[in-house]
Amino acid sequence: MQRPKTHYAKAGDIHIAYQVFGDGPIDLLWAQGWATHIEYAWESPDYARFLTKLSRFARVIFFDKRGVGMSDRDVGYPTLEERSQDINAVLDAVGSKKVAVFGNSEGGAISTVFAATFPDRVSHLVLNGSRACYKWHPDYPFGLKPDALQAEIDAFSDMSTEASEETSIDGAPSIADDPAAIEWLDTYFRYAASPRAMSKLAVMNYDIDYRGVLSSIQVPTLILHREGDRWCSTDHARYLAEHIPGSVLKIQPGEDHIVWYGDQDELIGEIQSFLTGETSSRTVDRALKTVAFVDIVGSTEHLARMGDDRWRSVLEQLDHFVSKRLNSYDGKQVKHTGDGYLLSFQGPTSAIECLSALQADAARLGLQTRTGLHTGECEVRGNDLSGLAVNVAARIMDLAQPGQILASQTVKDLSLGADFPFEALPAHQLRGVPGDWPLFALD
């Protein structure tokens, strides 16, 4: 197959490199893991063969995430939300309305969050060698504890030849006796990112935790995992399968984590069968949203002090600020809630930035607000939202102090990399909502 040309899509000010090849009946977005380089990928006969096989049944959309490869490098600490925006930008650039998304390893994180957030753009989700969380937690016992975590970060960050070869062989044992393949893979990682960027990328990846998103996945999902994967045990795949509704789990023979090594035919055969054999369609009426309740503190007292006319003028000015900020941060006003607003956003990063700006706007009008923020699956009914996520955001707002933005654990986890000043608070019980809820205040 003739090597495809690299193009660029714009996600805000960031250039995202992508290629498109194949003429199959479905669009397949291939979201690679870790550090990548879409042009040097074709220098490997193994990777080139893998890509060519995908192109026989799909139009493949192949891209480098921001921060690596042919895409803009110096982009700071990208969030999962920003990476989802990158996917949207690439899909818009190639004119793709709906795609199957195939996420490998760390690419599974952005694939899953994208599928939950934009279910209208995703027909199927395929995950291979992925995990919902890297770190150990009492309820996630197969995650890495601090010492093991640091050892892996150090291994991935060391670009010396000997260490790089050892890491490569651990991720692809089937090439242990193939010096040419090892040399290509080592060079591939060096082309993908500098040692400093590799280190930052490793640290960032090990902070990923998107367990709170899994129950929101509503598209048909296939989870693949090789039985002897040395980088990622099958426990992670089983967790995904248990928590993504209706998902299909296929444990395959082999030890290679790097997907284009090992038995390509069995893996690609499973993907092709899953994608081309699916005929059901569903009307999208649920989606992952970041929901915020904003309440004006002491509105009755303000009204009594100002009188009807002046208070109405103040509220009209606040409405103007809300409309302006929502336009800037791609948010929506769902409805007025008496003395406040119900707002929705595609992700928590833009929500927090918008709500912080609104808090300052309200202060200029002599008002204080309190805000509750949560990310979860919502029922979409025309322009309205309902469901547990909306109720949770409302209950969190009830606990917020004047001038405070109070967020759930899911908001904190999904805003990874944005460096917001979260202050952990004791877990709370939310009225009418089961369980204890860790909450975080934004200073």
N- to C-terminal Cα separation, the chain: 54
pLDDT in tens, 57-96: 999 999 999 999 999 988 877 888 888 889 999 999 999 9
Q: Lowest-confidence range among 195-199, 261-265, 298-302? A: 195-199
Question: Is the model's pLDDT at 279 over the cut of 70?
Answer: no
- Calculate the alpha carbon distances from 103 to 100, 313, 323 in Å: 10, 50, 36
The pLDDT score that the predictor gives to residue 159 is 55
**Mean per-residue pLDDT of the chain:** 90
Q: Which tens digits make up the pLDDT trace of 197-244?
A: 877 777 777 888 999 999 999 999 999 999 999 889 999 999 999 999
Least confident range from 144-153, 281-290, 381-390: namely: 281-290
- Give the residue-averaged pLDDT of 357-380: 94
pLDDT of residue 203: 77
Distance of CA 238 to the CA centre of its chain: 20
For residue 249, name the pLDDT band (cuts at 50, 70, 90): very high
Say how far apart CA 316 and CA 123 lie, in whole Å: 42
Domains of the chain and any CATH numbers: 7-276 (3.40.50.1820), 286-442 (3.30.70.1230)
User: Which residues on neighbouring strands pair with residue 379, listed in sequence order?
Assistant: 286, 386
Residue 362 has pLDDT above 60, yes or no: yes
Res 435: pLDDT: 87
- For residue 154, pLDDT over 80 is answered with no
Looking at residue 277, what is its pLDDT?
Answer: 78
Q: Is the pLDDT of residue 390 over 50?
A: yes
Instruction: Give the mean model confidence (pLDDT) for residues 385-409.
Output: 95
Q: What is the pLDDT of residue 107?
A: 92
Share of the chain above pLDDT 90, in %: 70
* CA atoms within a 13 Å half-sphere pointing along the CA-CB vector of 344: 19
**pLDDT at residue 278, as a whole number:** 44
Average pLDDT, stretch 303-310? 90
Answer whether residue 313 shows pLDDT above 70: yes
| pLDDT grade for 166, boundaries at 50, 70 and 90 | low
pLDDT digits (tens, 9 = 90+) for 204-214: 778 889 999 99
The pLDDT of residue 272 is: 94
Q: What is the mean pLDDT of residues 285-310?
A: 91
Residue 412 has pLDDT above 60, yes or no: yes
Mean pLDDT, rounded, for 368-385: 91
pLDDT tens track for 107-139: 999 999 999 999 999 999 999 999 999 899 999
pTM of the model: 0.82
